A and B are shown apart, each in its own frame.
Chain A
C-alpha cells in the first residue's frame, strides 16, 4: 500500500505535504506533487496536512481515481524530489475557498 496524490492537488500545489514527510518522497512538476511509492513508509502524515484533501491511501481510492496510483509512480520517477515547501500556485487560496475547505 502507499499514499497517492490525486488531481485535487492540481491548481493549488500547496506543498504542505513536503514539510511533514519523514522520508522526502514527494516529487513535483508544474502542476502538482507526486508520492514515490518505493520510498513512502505509509505513515499517513501527509493526508491531514494537505489543505485541499488531495492525498489518500491507495486502498481508499474510488475506481475512477485508481489511475493516480500509476501516475504517481511514473511521475515520481520522472520528476525531482522536493525537500522544502514552495509558495502555492497563484489562485490556490481562492480554489481552496471554493472547495469549501
Chain B
C-alpha cells in the first residue's frame, strides 16, 4: 500500500515500460508506479527478442532491476491488460495510464500462397528460440537444405545467424533447450537473405553484418547475378555506418564458399508469390536491378520461409489505433491527440513510434511521453485514494497469485540454477505454469 497522491499505471514491462517508470520516479514528485505485464517475467524483448548469442545487450536488465528497486515501483505480473482488466477500469483507478505494449504483430506480406505451411513470421521464430511461452509449441521444418529469409533488417540477420550457427556456437547461450535440440538436427546449409533494395539500401547494422564474417561453419556470400550496375557505391548522403555496411557486403561478394554452410545476401528481388500444394515449395520473385531494362522472373526452391518485414502494435479495446503506422494513435505520446484525445492515456516506445531504434532510443522516448504526462497531471481527475491498490489486490486475488517482482526474482534464480548445470547463463522456463511453479518457492498465494 502506498500513500502517494499520484498513481500511474504502465502497461508492458519491456524496456519502454521500465524507462517510463524510471522517468516518473525520478521527477521528485510524490508518485507511485504499477508496471503491468501479462507474463510473470519482465524485460519484454530483452528477454524474448535479443538473440541468445548477444548476451552483452542483455546486461541492460541490471538497469531495469535498479529501476524496480526505486521507491514507489511495483511490478504487477501475470495480468493481461485488455483481457484480465480493461483500459477503462485502469483509467478509473489511476491518474494516468502509459501504454508500452510494444509491437507484437508481424507484418504480413499480402501475396498469393502466404498461408502455406512452412512460411513463418520471423518474430515467431525469434520467440521460439528465446523460449516465449506463446511460441514454444511452434514447429519449423529444418529437413530441407535451404531456407529463405525475406527482409533486410537486423531481425532477418538474427534469424539467418541462428539457422547457420553450429550447436557448439549456441550451446552456452540462454537459447531455449527445445530450440537448441531442434537446430542441432537441422539440415539447412544455405540461407538466402532476400531484399528488394540493393546493397546500399538495407537496414542492416554494420556490427551485426560483421559477425557473418566470423562464423565457425558458414561463409557469407552475394549472388553476383542480382546486383546490376555499381552495386556497392554508397549514396552521397550515406553516413559512416551505412558506408561500413555496404563495404562489408562488398567484402562478402569476394568470399569463396569453403565452409559447410553459406548465407547468401540477395538483392533487388521483389517477392511475387509462394508456390506449393499444402507446403511451400518455392518462392517466386521479380528481379529489377538498376541499369537493366527488363524485369525477370526468378524462383528460389525452399521449404522454409521467414518473413521479416517489420512489426506493428496489437490494437487494444477502447484505445484509438493508427492503422497506417501500426501504433496506438497518438500525438507525441498523448493517445488520440488533441481532437480525439483520451485524457490520461499515453503511449511510449514501439507502441508510440513504431519499431525503430536501439534499446536506449526508448529511454529518450519515455522521457518525452512522461514530460507530456507531467504537464497534464494537475488537470487529470483523481481516482479514489485506494482505487489502484484495491484493483491490483482484486486482480491478484482472482488468480490466487501475487506475481510481483519478488516472484520474478524466484523464477530468475531457478532459471539460473537450471542453466548452471548445462553451462548456460540460464535455462528459461517456457510455460507460464512452470514459471509460476518456480515462483512458489516463496509465498505468492493470496
Interface residues of A (CB under 8 A from B): 19-24, 41-48, 53, 57, 60
Contacts and interface: CB of A to CB of B under 8 A. Distances in A.
Contact of B359 (A22, A53, A60): A22
Contacts of B205: 44
Given A42-B56, A42-B57, A20 B363 contact: yes
Interface in B234-248: 239-241, 244
A79 to B, nearest CB: 20
B60 interface: yes
B360 A48 contact: no
Interface of B: 15, 56-60, 62-63, 205, 207, 239-241, 244, 357-364, 367
Contacts, number: 55
B414 to A, nearest CB: 25
Contacts of B358: 20, 22, 43-45
Contacts of A21: 360, 363
B363 A41 contact: no
Nearest to B240: A53
Contact of B244 (A20, A42, A48, A60): A60
Given A22-B60, A48-B241, A57 B360 contact: no
A23 B60 contact: yes
Contacts of B62: 23
Given A22-B60, A41-B56, A42-B56, 20 more contacts: A20-B361, A20-B364, A21-B363, A22-B15, A22-B358, A22-B359, A22-B362, A23-B59, A23-B62, A23-B360, A24-B63, A41-B60, A42-B57, A43-B359, A43-B360, A44-B205, A44-B358, A45-B358, A45-B361, A57-B207
B55 to A, nearest CB: 9
A24 B62 CA distance: 11
B241 A47 contact: yes
